[in-house]
Structure 1
Amino acid sequence: MAQSDSRGRELYNRLRKILKDPGIIPPGELIQVLNAALYSVSSPAPGIRPLDERGVPGGLVELPQAEYRIIVPDLHGRMDFLLKVLRHRPPGDYPARGPVLSDVLAGRAQIICVGDAFHSESRGRQRWQQAMEEFIDGFKRHGAMDQEMRENLGLLAMICILQDAAPAGFFFLKGNHENIANEEGEGNHPFRKFVYEGDMVKRWVQQFMGEEIFRMIYEWEKALPLMTRAEDFLVTHAEPARVLSEDDVINAYLRPGVIHSLTWVDNGQAEEYSAEGTLSNFLGSRDGGRIFGGHRPVSGRYDLRQQGRYVQINTPNRHVIAYVDDMKNFLPEQNIYEIQD
């Protein structure tokens, strides 16, 4: 335990330095952490990522046994939120319970992030408007866009470091914002909400970070899983659009419709009972199974959809997580809470 605590402090301080640095992470450092993360997600420990028909890790993660799991909703550049999760001490009566990061490194806990690393969305709305003017002018000035990308790339670096440090304990799923090329196809759509966020990020990365980093981020996105399975729950980015099978998810990168089904579905667009059917395919007839996800914001701490089988957590202005140690005793009102420390 002492070793994981010491390693956890060292790792946390490394991540905190990225948050506190007012500048954009240097390209050389970003290349280094992306390389390490690409290796980690492309060659996970045996039994964690079943291989797809190409013989590479597929879209499903089989979570190892753990005392508890933390499910983190859409991050959208919020480096401070991720750090708060890592230093959080969750509830429970385990004598050894320490900061989440130490428990992850010791194999006692896992963190599952539902995706969406980039784009600050509503909290950065005014900054996006300023960045749009810079974009129209060919980024001759780019102060507002630099601020946005400092958060996006800083969070990306943190995620990559954690994927490398804890390949069996930290998992980041692909969301609809994992689309650095702003492509149409492969389960993706070009992204715009307040301005032309997708194209603006693509152009900025190519212009100021270079084609090598652009390519590496693209490859990293294509290596991310789309679902995690525990004993009695699943985690995805979005509410499944239809009933999915193990074969569908494992081979998702060969079936773009599956990627779209797990990343782009709006509230009310999913087929009726898609969550229940998917749970049956993945967990059998177990009672109490649920799917956790994010994607669309909720007004409170959570929303229950699909007869309560899909639990949606995504509060853009609050640091809300789901804590799961035993689904038999899982109570949304109690187990989904805002981190205060």
Structure 2
Amino acid sequence: MATQSSKQQKGLMKRLKESFSGLAQCKELDLKKAYLLEDKKVRLQMENYPIQLNVGPDGKTLHIYPERPMNHSQKGFQTGRYIMFDPKSYYKGVSGFLPINEGKKIILGKGNAAQKDLLNLPQNIAERHLSIVNDNGSLVFKNLDAKHHACISPLLKDKQLHRINKWRLAKLKRLRSIFGGPVKMLPADDALSMIRRVNKVMEKEAYRVEDDSGQPGGVVELPPGTTPILLGDLHTKADNLLVILSQSGFLKELKKGNAALVILGDAVHCEDTGKLERMESSILIMDLIFKLKLRFPRQVFYLRGNHDSFSEEIGKQGVPQGMLWEKALVKIRGKAYRNEMARFYEQLPYIAYSKNFIACHAGPPTRSTSRQELVNIRQHPKLIREVTQNRIRRPNSPSGYFRREVKKFRKYFDLAPDTPVIVGHTPMTSDDTLWENVGDIDNHYVIYASNDQWVGVMAQVGGRLYPFHYPVEHLIPLINAIEN
């Protein structure tokens, strides 16, 4: 976004004054003017500028930004939504935001418990303080609190206008550094050296519960205080992974050792029409994941999915992707690399949990089992098949898992009845990336990270996990254009 001239800023201020005609002026917040929101509805044309809200008795500060892509040349990017957040916490650590989606209405107030975590709203704010509606790109505000009116102010200073993009650009530079240069397929020799180092890490992977043979078992138990970040099936969408790592404080908290990124398997095998047989993108996504694993060996975890295999059973629309994957690795990287990939698959965990969540690739087992059996899952092939291939019970899948199995899954690990159970594998629709309370089962989530428009992630904010949606962006060209 280009820096605005003084003349342009004055023009915007004039339009803002016209938009807020009849409103009382309140204390100066950011620039020359701020306005008090009274009882009448006020419509604001955002003009691509962020604004500041001060709400509640103590004037709690919130920011609202229009959602814009990092790559300004990206065609077709139009979410129509705004994000609202607490600027004191948003740029620090894993923090939340509240989306203001087109056609949706938000009521700010202590009546919504999630707003306390996501926006750090004070306890003394009214039950219903302020309504905000996204009406075809315009924001409509109405004060609902007779005692304390909200204030609004444009954020026109260059530091605020570009803050989110500059903040994310710094993350892209960091990601380029982690990858060691442009994001592209590594030379075969470098790739072989890398996967061997990864497999060495996997031999004693952090937080793995030991099985009966003293080896890392099928379960990752994250320690208390670790912030979980969960991402579903990527199916070769490297940009989707990079979008997540460039948002919030995810990358920073991985570096500090405070968070853990858990990928729920199936990073390989493109599902786009006409690309089912292509394996180069599978190689690239695994190169990226291996780079992350080596940089953050105690913070990045990959659970095994059904596509993490060379099996002839793995395929889509008649395309034997498992077999093609194996052949591509041998052809492009050599037999030694193929063998190391098979070794990587054999060393993978299947379940990750902490006191705040439990996750696997496909779904809880339908047969009765125990925590100890799941730790020793390699001795139980039927259990492996269930947690990597199960689907929720539906008319076309009557043998799948349902409410009882979700409940038992929590019990195996002594988790509270409302602990989120998070799986991937089965997208509920073709136009989304994250689904809540799936099957009308409370706190049961499905996340699927290979959608072309949105990528969803579950992350812990304020002691509990929340779902977040981010628009997909083409970030690889931006990263590759960054100078060393």
TM score, norm. by length of structure 2: 0.56
- Given that 2:228 and 2:459 are in contact with CA atoms closer than 8 Å, whether structure 1 keeps it comes out as yes
Work out which of the residue numbers 250, 258, 263 in structure 2 matches 1:113: 263
Structure 2 Cα separation of the partners of residues 51 and 67 of structure 1: 20
SS of residue matched to 1:202: helix
2:188 is the counterpart of 1:58 = no
Q: Which has the higher strand share?
A: 2
Which residue of 127, 137, 141 corresponds with 2:275?
127
Kept in 2, the 8 Å contact 1:244–1:277? The answer is no
Is 1:236 the counterpart of 2:395? The answer is no
Matched with 1:321 is: 457
C-alpha contact 1:234 1:292 (8 A) present in aligned 2 = yes
Q: Distance in 2 between matches of 1:240 and 1:194?
A: 27
**Deviating more after overlay: 306-315 vs 5-14:** 5-14
Amino acid corresponding to residue 226 of structure 1 in structure 2:
Y
The counterpart of 2:470, out of the listed 332, 338, 341, is: 338
Which of the residues 291, 301, 305 maps onto 2:421? 291
In the alignment, structure 1 residue 31 sits paired with structure 2 residue 161: no
Corresponding residue for residue 256 of structure 1: 381
Matches within 5 A, 1:244-283: 244-268=369-393, 269-272=399-402, 273-283=404-414
Amino acid at match of 1:13: S
Gap change, CA 1:278 and 1:67, over 3 Å in 2: closer
Once the two structures are TM-superposed, the CA of residue 327 in structure 1 deviates from its matched residue by 5.7
What amino acid is aligned across from residue 254 of structure 2 in structure 1? V
Residue 309 of structure 1 and its aligned partner are, at CA, apart by: 4.2
Deviations 1:215-272 (A, max 9, x none): 0000001111111111131011011132442112211111111111110112313344
Hey, what's the Cα distance between the residues in 2 that align with 1:207 and 1:340? 31
1:1-341 equivalent positions in 2, closer than 5 A:
10-15=174-179, 17-19=181-183, 21=184, 24-45=185-206, 48-66=207-225, 68-89=227-248, 99-121=249-271, 123=272, 125-128=273-276, 131=277, 148-179=278-309, 181-182=310-311, 189-242=313-366, 243-268=368-393, 269-272=399-402, 273-284=404-415, 286-299=416-429, 300=432, 301-305=434-438, 307-314=441-448, 316-317=450-451, 318-326=454-462, 328=464, 330=465, 335-339=467-471
Matched position secondary structure for 1:50: strand
Between structures 1 and 2, the one with greater helix share: 1
- Compared CA separation, residues 18 and 267, structure 1 to 2 (3 A): farther
Letter matched to residue 112 of structure 1: V
Residues 118-171 of structure 1: per-residue CA shift (max 9 Å, x gap): 1011x2x2133xx5xxxxxxxxxxxxxxxx332111111111122222122111
Q: What residue number does 2:478 align with?
A: none
Structure 2 Cα separation of the partners of residues 15 and 69 of structure 1 = 23
Residue correspondences, number: 293
What is the CA distance between 1:29 and its match in structure 2? 1.3
User: Percentage identity across aligned positions?
Assistant: 20
Shift of 1:316: 2.9
Aligned letter for 2:469?
Y
* Unmatched segments (≥5 aa) in structure 1: 90-98, 132-147, 184-188
Alpha-carbon offset, residue 177 of structure 1: 0.5
What CA RMSD, in Å, does the superposition of the two structures yield over aligned residues?
Answer: 2.6
Equivalent-residue separation in structure 2 for 1:154 and 1:57 (angstroms):
27
| Superposition deviation, residue 212 in structure 1 | 0.4
- Give the Cα–Cα distance (whole angstroms) in 2 for the partners of residues 83 and 35 of structure 1: 24
Q: 1:117 to 1:340 in 2, by over 3 A?
A: closer
Kept in 2: contact 1:302–1:336 (CA 8 A): no
In the alignment, residue 468 of structure 2 is paired with which amino acid? I
Distance 2:316 2:334 in 1: 23
Name the CA distance, whole Å, in 1 between partners of 2:180 and 2:244: 12
Bigger relative CO (Cα 8 Å, ≥ 6 apart): 1
Q: Closer, same or farther in 2 for the Cα pair 1:194/1:54, shift >3 Å? A: same
Find the residue that maps to 1:266 and give its secondary structure. Answer: coil
How far, CA to CA, are the matches of 2:279 and 2:194 in structure 1? Answer: 17
Mapped partners of 1:127, 1:16: distance in 2: 28
SS in 2 for 1:240: coil
Which portions of structure 1, spanning 4 or more consecutive aligned residues, are displaced by more than 6 angstroms? 5-8
The alpha-carbon distance between structure 1 residues 251 and 326, as it changes in their structure 2 partners (threshold 3 A), is: farther
